[in-house]
Structure 1
Amino acid sequence: MRYIKFRQNGEIHTALVTSQEEVYIIQEENYTDFYYKLQESNRTANQYLKDGNIQKTDLSFDDLELTLPTIPDEVWAAGVTYQKSREARNFETKKEDEKDLTFYDLVYDAKRPEIFFKSTARRIIGPNSDVYIRSDSNWQIPEPELTLIVGKKEDIIGYTLGNDMSCRDIEGENPLYLPQAKVWKNSGSIGPAILMPEGIEDPYSIDITCKIYRNNELKFEGTAYVNQLKRKLDELVHYLVYDNDILEGTALMTGTCIVPPNDFTLQDGDTIEISSEKIGILRNSVKAQEQMILIHY
């Protein structure tokens, strides 16, 4: 079962979508509250629909104007959690003749994972909105990631897709520039739906595909599975909440295993599609911001 929000006639509606893509409109505006409401009554989403005598609509899921399924107060992210990400980070930073281990090599095998702050509610966008590229970067890519919705304590209460937009040249120049390489206006998106835990027996079986189009031509395509993740999802959540003040409904991007070729960078007008068979398609257009004048002190 998936939880979605969509716009119709200027209003936002909430719905549940079955694996057969049947759409049921419900009056549950907050996903976290809805999840724990089911938990407290020991019901599944299917039982909720049956108990409430909620009838399926004639709406087509593919035709809905989907919006953010939830608006997390904060979005966090984990880095270097896949071998492919480790290789990409090393390419950005290593000189050709450098043989020593980098801090990316070290964090990949370390007990403590890399966890960093990615976004706030007012910066994150949903499906069918524009992601922005930085005007001071010449090497930018999307990072398709399974994104967890975190509930009370260390509960994983949902799964969605995320796009952790990244500037490879800025991070590669100096690791202390990570916040600037990761955080700017519209630098991340999540959606299009929240896959409820009851709808997936093994989250490590989730597939993720990324396609990038330019002038309606496919420029890049890659596919990965969450079972390629170096760490466990529970482990990432544990380090996120450890001694931290995390609100229920916080989103955690879990890292990427899909990286475009090293000579690729996003351009204004590109379209990014991040998809999963069980979650849906997170589609965003790419927009260039007005270039700002950098003052060197």
Structure 2
Amino acid sequence: MRILRYKNNEGIYSLAALANDERVYDLPYGDFLELVSEAEKAETTPLKHVQELIAGQEPLNARYGELELGVPILAPEVWAAGVTYEKSKEARNYEATDGKLDAETFYDKVYDAERPEIFFKSTAARTVGPDQPVYLRSDSSWQIPEPELGLVLDKNGKVLGYTAGNDMSCRDIEGENPLYLPQAKVWKNSCALGPVILLAEAVEDPYDFDFACRIYRGEEKVVEGTANTKQLKRRLDELVDYLAKDNDLFDGTVLLTGTCIVPPNEFTLQDGDRIEIEISSIGTLNNPVKTQKSKISAIR
């Protein structure tokens, strides 16, 4: 069972359930956390609560692909884990060493270390949903999407569901100096989530999600890659434990778990490109790429 937010006939975002047969059923809630809260009050699970709500209900007349979707959860914070796949380690090493991959770097060390890399990625105001534009950073010339599995958490670190995430990244800024990581990762519209939340109860094995990332330029496919979460170096509960260590989690926090698909080193995103991130059982997150004007006219 998948949960989505869509704009209804009144122009208001409303919650709905997407069944396995792609039929959509209205839910009497405005957001995902309200659904979770009501399920707790009823002393049941979100999945069972949704099943009870839609039992005997007629689906929407509109098809899933016809709905105007919003970001599936207004996450108060989005965090991300890095260097959790070997492919990510190799890409980070390439950035940091100008292609001299024979030298060990701090990325090798964190890949093998007990403590994972976890960094702050986004807020609700900086995060966009399906079909909304992700922005290019004006002071970077080497930018890529990073397709990632997102964990939707409650304040206790429990996984409520799974979604697809795009952790936009500036490879040149991060490669220049690791202390520049926040600038390489955080800016307006630098994070996308969606298209839905797959309820955790509906997932038998989170280490068997298939990934695909496709980038189109003028509707011509210029990049495509695939992966599977079984390639993860770290356990998902390990990442959550470190995020929650001596830290306050908020209901609806999203943790992106790292990427295993990296475009070729000579590739950079351009204005007008389109990114598709597909995760099995979740769906496809589609976002156009736009250039934004910098608010700083000159650096002094």
- Tell whether the structures are fold-level matches, with TM greater than 0.5: yes
Q: What's 1:219 paired with?
A: 222
Q: Is the 8 A contact 2:85 2:259 kept in 1?
A: yes
Structure 1 distance, partners of 2:204, 2:131, is 29
Say which SS state the counterpart of residue 172 (structure 1) adopts: helix
2:241 to 207, 217, 238: 238
Instruction: Give the TM-score taking structure 1 as reference length.
Output: 0.95
Q: What's 2:276 paired with?
A: 273
The more displaced of 5-14 and 213-222 is 5-14
1:196: Cα distance to partner? 0.1
Identity score, percent? 53
1:245: Cα distance to partner? 1.3
Say which SS state the counterpart of residue 127 (structure 2) adopts: coil
Structure 2 distance, partners of 1:51, 1:102, is 53
Q: Is the 8 A contact 2:69 2:195 kept in 1?
A: yes
Structure 1 distance, partners of 2:98, 2:58, is 61
Q: What's 2:47 paired with?
A: 45
1:96: Cα distance to partner? 5.3
Q: What's 2:203 paired with?
A: 200
How many residues get paired?
296
1:268: Cα distance to partner? 0.3
Say which SS state the counterpart of residue 75 (structure 2) adopts: coil
C-alpha change, 1:85 and 1:22, in structure 2 (3 Å) is: same
- Counterpart of 1:45, as a letter, is L
1:12: Cα distance to partner? 1.5
TM alignment of 1:114-263, pairs within 5 A: 114-263=117-266
Structure 2 distance, partners of 1:97, 1:51, is 57
Structure 1 distance, partners of 2:127, 2:45, is 31
Structure 2 distance, partners of 1:73, 1:121, is 5
CA displacement 1:40-81 (0-9 Å, x = unmatched): 523463554336643322321121111111101111000000
Q: What's 1:5 paired with?
A: 5
List alignment gaps of at least 5 residues for structure 1.
none
Q: What's 1:77 paired with?
A: 80
Aligned-CA RMSD value: 1.7
Structure 1 distance, partners of 2:125, 2:45, is 33
- Counterpart of 2:70, as a letter, is T
- Counterpart of 1:151, as a letter, is D
Structure 2 distance, partners of 1:7, 1:212, is 27
- Counterpart of 2:87, as a letter, is K
C-alpha change, 1:231 and 1:186, in structure 2 (3 Å) is: same
